[in-house]
Structure 1
Amino acid sequence: MDRMDDAPAYPVGLRLRGRRVVVIGGGQVAQRRLPALVAAGADIVVVAPRATASVEAMADAGELRWERRAYRPGDLAEAWYALVASTDPAANAAASAEAEERRVWCVRSDDADAATAWTPATGRTEGVTVAVLTGRDPRRSAAVRDAVVEGLRDGSLVAPQHRARTAGVALVGGGPGDPDLITVRGRRLLAEADVVIADRLGPRDLLGELPPHVEVIDAAKIPYGRAMAQEAINAALIEHAKAGKAVVRLKGGDPYVFGRGMEEAEALAAAGIAVTVVPGISSAISVPGAAGIPVTHRGVAHEFTVVSGHVAPDDARSLVDWSALARMRGTLVLLMAVERIGAIADTLIAGGRPAGTPVAVVQEGTTAAQRRVDATLSSVAHTVAEEGVRPPAVIVIGDVVTVGRSGAGRG
């Protein structure tokens, strides 16, 4: 067979479901290529005297047939596609020659120039298959593939869908504030949105990356007054979704952790609008972590409790059993508690929590403005006032506060 010239390869997608594919060799190359052939539904026959444990497991699971022997002439009869990847150069050459004779497209792992087909670097995301060929530079193919797939996943590479989309709303948890901490799915949905209704605690930097046609609505500025804010937000979500728009409700943290996400989901469901919930990284765990505080630690805390502090302990609307929390020995994480930390600290001390319990207040966690203020349960109210701490801030109460700084509980 003449060597292939420098003409570019013709890209094509093979539909192999139910069609015979022969793989010569059962080593690492075959192990890497077989999962894609299995996923394509091919009728796979592996011809090899030995195989890796993974290839053997695929045979045991019935995903392919393994003939435990060396290549023999005639093995490629009725094949549609062949992968030649054995460690025997003579067998590879013979199998390649048979493929040429039978007009079977053949990939050669040991000699790309002698092959009639090349395997592209492939990746898949959200129904899109990316296949990259760069001739004889597989590392560059893989690098380009990774860049394209990652761009599609995180929304930095925008590829609008031109088919009809079902109107709906995605409740997206944006994480604690750092734009890099939103999930891949959340970032992709943002890139595909027509309308974004954003909380002030969401990752604001991401809004600047949106295309010009995207309508951004600041949820804090929706009219009708503070008492009607949630109802107005629900109405705005429903209105835009019914207009056929792809709507993202961008929230800080996780939609279901003090984010009123379920109220919005219920309102949308009642209006017959499809809802997608994308979980986010909760500030209750991520902000302490960013400040060097583990919410649990071996020998120090075996549990942590997350509590909203937006209602004071003595308020009739409070649903929190503060006396029970005071008796617990684990970590207590308070959200939305800056304004009421004095009353909360006094209640915990009165309930039995030691006045000297370490406390850390982390303001604007995970952002460039992050700062940490340390105190004790008895001094935290004074410290917060003296240091001018303002929301948003996460307050951590417990011995874990000192773990990263003093080494307490290590070993």
Structure 2
Amino acid sequence: MLKANAMSQPSRAAAMQRFGCPVLKQALRRLCVHSGSRVLLRGMNDFAVLNTGRKMPLLGLGTWKSEPGKVKQAVVWALEAGYRHIDCAAIYGNEVEIGEALQETLGPDKPLRREDVFITSKLWNTRHQPEDVEPSLLKTLKDLKLEYLDLYLIHWPYAFQRGDVPFPKKEDGTLLYDDTDYKLTWAAMEKLVEKGLVRSIGLSNFNSKQIDDILSVASIKPTVLQVESHPYLAQVELLAHCRERGLVLTAYSPLGSPDRAWKDPDEPVLLQEPVIAALAEKFKKSPAQIILRWQTQRGVVTIPKSVTQSRIKENIQVFDFTLEAEEMKSITALNRGWRYIVPMIEVEGKRVPRDAGHPYYPFNEPY
């Protein structure tokens, strides 16, 4: 007799067909080759190896701007397409729905094992006080319906005023900040690893000096730095800085975040770049696939966002071709230090960086 909630053999076979066969994945793992600090698998998912020895899939599904009502299906489509990495954050406001997708697909008698999927989330700016770090994580775990995270990041180096309002503001509309030292926040993050609530911890939107500041006090080193990166913001110096210190770089907005609501009419359009278009024509791929291949080929973890099934499938189909060295260089040469993602506010009729006055604002340094 089948146990309650157990999958029938036809259902299990259908699930294996939809989500990929674990036996096949094990066979692919045996074909791995080592290249520096990376492990390359001759399968759909390549992996970066963290300084803990854990593997992090080089391509994941980003969920920033994935609105409730669509993100659950997007996660299911991604897992069906072969994604084994989902990037989340409390501030995105959609972790409950992502949790519904994970609950349906991960665990005993489900299509995938929990350990097959790498799941990241982030600590928001209003929760930097050390005593707020664990409760914030526990809320994320409850929403995602998980017992642990694979990776937990400090979302930004600077803090907002403590409380339940995600963007606390003064009467004039400017934000209320907090001066909590991110090194104190980091010490609280380390306790999450010690308690088994997270496997690895890392940073997001920190600059090189801030990374070194954390490393100077860390008893558990950060494994990952997540920042904006794409051909117009190649982050070459920051990538080298991270590699020298044993951190893996993750690129958010790898396609230039073309669906942003606050576009500048004069900003460059990455997906229309002639160099990218020419390579797309050569390889019979989309411009997005060329950009994602460039990132993964240089060992950068990449998390493109989509809620469209065809694009979700397309974005992971980047492991069946290789860019030549000169082609890689031609894409990197497009770098112009252009940031698409800088929080802005309007002051006296002008748009200015919202957080530039905070002592921990990360973008005042070259990298």
- TM-score with structure 2 length normalisation? 0.27
- TM-score with structure 1 length normalisation? 0.25
Q: Which has the higher contact order (CA 8 A, sep 6+)?
A: 2
Larger radius of gyration: 1
